[in-house]
Amino acid sequence: MKNLNTVVLIGVGFGLLACSTPQSEFGVYQQSDGTIGVHAPKSAKENEAQEVALAECKKQGKRTATILESRKTVNDRFPLTYIYLCR
């Protein structure tokens, strides 16, 4: 029974991972004013972009990523760009 529970938990974990956009699909950059830009693929959700920005902010020793702006782009691969402020 214990092995069955473990297998079920692993399956659920992989199922959740399959639903999210991998971080490698995002383009992340730091702007000269210190904000973080995230180029998001078409399939990404806004909260996924924020998670990517938060990971970048944590590399800088900051704890939060607050969205400042989102805009559409003409880039087919990254049709949305989000700008975040790290605090």
The range of the structural domain enclosing residue 7 comes to: 2-86
The pTM of the full predicted model, rounded to 2 decimals, is 0.73
Consecutive H or E run containing 47: helix 46-59
Work out the burial of residue 10: count CB atoms within 10 Å of its CB; fewer than 13 is exposed, 13-18 middle, 19 or more buried. exposed
Total count of domains within the chain: 1
pLDDT digits (tens, 9 = 90+) for 38-78: 999 988 999 999 999 999 999 999 999 999 999 999 988 89
52 in Cβ contact with 21 (< 8 Å): no
| 82 has pLDDT over 90 | yes
Burial category of 40 from C-beta neighbours within 10 Å (exposed 0-12, middle 13-18, buried 19 and up): buried
